[in-house]
Amino acid sequence: MSFVEFDSFYKEEHPCSTVFLSANKYIRKMKGGSQSILVQCDDDRFYVVKMAGNPQGPNVVANEFLGSVIAGAVGLPVAESMVIHLSDHFIDSEPDIWFELPSGRKRPDAGLHFGSLLVGQPSGPQRPSEYISPSRINSIANRDAFLGMYILDVWANHQDNRQAVLLRRSDDNAQEAFFIDHGHMFGGPDWNFRERPGAALHLESSVYSELWHDEVVSSWISHFRTVLPEVLSWVTSILPARWYNGDLRSLMEGLIHRLSNLTELVQKDATRSRQFAYQNSENDALRLSDSGIHKLRTPDTRSAFYRDLAVSYAKFIHSDRVCFAKLGS
């Protein structure tokens, strides 16, 4: 199946085209190693697009997709993800879209790319910020999510510092955090697990202040053990093949294995990074039990949303002999 065939299929306004968006306006280039771009799509909303083939490495776009869908599915606040089509016409209309490499400029391929729904607006009072002020951490309404995200990141062997953007709520002036940049989860661009204690923590360590409670940590781990096996099984079925070149099956096996010893992984990472030690009465060793599963405050509703999305993709794949996995390959 060639990409041209997909293109004509797409233009026929097949019902499944609603699961993809097209970029129709270039806004600006974003900072950072992946050289992402801010675009406006045909739903009028703004997306930070990480393009396939970007200089950060072979599997980063797959990681972005897996990381955001998985984190959303377990109830963590992430910027929503979307599959975005960039046409040849769009790419050719704006020279800034090209990658800048040491060897020169490189044109991204037209086709499907990863989009992260912009939190807030590109300008004005609703422009998001990445700055976390230590004196204002308690104004982050959903700050407890940083502990859940840390545990998910340890499981996913995130090789980079956790990033979040904050959006100020107009009604009560509180801030809300949304996690972004999952490109170095899953052992990084080469899908190679290696333990680097503390690597996945947010650089502003005060954001974790007083969050650690053994029973909350145990609750997150139990929740992940319950939800993640099913999430992994459907999220991999909707991952575009052109976004990765690693061994997806062995990545999934590794992740399932890490789920079985997540308590030890978290205990080790937290102890060695010493991030949470001062918050724990035991001080020299964190002791997590598997009991004391408390009711999570995190909603699980997004899991159903993403599962429905997966069902749409699956129908799309099977109904028209168009294999999503082969698109663009």
Ligand X SMILES: Nc1ncnc2c1ncn2[C@@H]1O[C@H](COP(=O)(O)OP(=O)(O)OP(=O)(O)O)[C@@H](O)[C@H]1O
- Residues near ligand X (CB under 6 A) are 30-34, 36, 48, 79, 116-119, 128, 130, 163, 165, 180-181, 183
Tokens of 309: 């999305």
- Residue showing tokens 């959303």: 72
Select 186 or 316, whichever has its Cβ closest to Mg ion. Answer: 186
In the complex, least distance from residue 79 CB atom to Mg ion, rounded to whole angstroms: 12
In the complex, least distance from residue 32 CB atom to Mg ion, rounded to whole angstroms: 5
Question: By CB under 5 A, is residue 153 in contact with Mg ion?
Answer: no
CA dist., res. 207 & res. 327, Å (int): 41
Select 181 or 269, whichever has its Cβ closest to Mg ion. Answer: 181
Which does residue 63 bind out of ligand X, Mg ion, none, counting CB within 5 to 8 angstroms by kind?
Answer: none
Which does residue 295 bind out of Mg ion, ligand X, none, counting CB within 5 to 8 angstroms by kind?
Answer: none
Select 153 or 181, whichever has its Cβ closest to ligand X. Answer: 181
Which does residue 34 bind out of Mg ion, ligand X, none, counting CB within 5 to 8 angstroms by kind?
Answer: ligand X
CA dist., res. 319 & res. 42, Å (int): 25
Q: Which stretch binds Mg ion (CB under 5 A): 32-40, 79-87, 146-154, 311-319?
A: 32-40
Select 32 or 254, whichever has its Cβ closest to Mg ion. Answer: 32
Select 10 or 108, whichever has its Cβ closest to ligand X. Answer: 108
Question: By CB under 5 A, is residue 181 in contact with Mg ion?
Answer: yes
Which does residue 165 bind out of ligand X, Mg ion, none, counting CB within 5 to 8 angstroms by kind?
Answer: ligand X
In the complex, least distance from residue 56 CB atom to ligand X, rounded to whole angstroms: 6
Which does residue 61 bind out of ligand X, Mg ion, none, counting CB within 5 to 8 angstroms by kind?
Answer: none
In the complex, least distance from residue 193 CB atom to Mg ion, rounded to whole angstroms: 20
Which does residue 119 bind out of ligand X, Mg ion, none, counting CB within 5 to 8 angstroms by kind?
Answer: ligand X
In the complex, least distance from residue 114 CB atom to ligand X, rounded to whole angstroms: 10
Which residue ranges make up the site for Mg ion (CB under 5 A)? 32, 181
